[in-house]
Structure 1
Amino acid sequence: MLPDISQKVLTQQLRELEDDGIIDRQVLGDRAPFKVVYSLTETGRSLGKILLQMSLWGEQRANELPNVEIENDHAGFNHLLETL
């Protein structure tokens, strides 16, 4: 779970991503406690290269600003791009 986000906000964001066709939601099990698994759709996977480029662009702009430090190794993006 993401520590800096409430359960309500996380659920809302996941529902919006599902409604937009970016992720699929699968409920596993026939009784509580259920396990919910999310995965990227083809549309979601197609956003990988775009999001990486946007992240790199943002880092370049941030480096032009005084007193701004960016730490990002792009590990999540790299993993996504490997699956494309």
Structure 2
Amino acid sequence: MTRIYVARLDIPPSVENKIRTKHSLTGDEVRAALVFRKDVQFKEDDHEAYGLRILAHATTRQGRQFLAVLYVVNTDEGVYRLGTAYAK
């Protein structure tokens, strides 16, 4: 398990729309579950097509577990971009 601290999570509008309509998750829920949290399990994944990304297993405040795919923007400042998120 990789230790990562997410200080800022950028969510593009297209991803926000996709996770809301397709996976019934909001950007606010995902952000609240990932930013400055110590209970998230992170795993680095070197995907053949998408390159290096971070898989984050987290839980919303309502207790709903989900998997988020994060892309590094700036590791020194803890900035990541959400690729997708879906309930487990």
Q: Same fold (TM over 0.5)?
A: no
TM-score range, shorter chain: under 0.3
Please report the TM-score for the alignment, with normalisation by the length of structure 1.
0.26
Higher strand share: 2
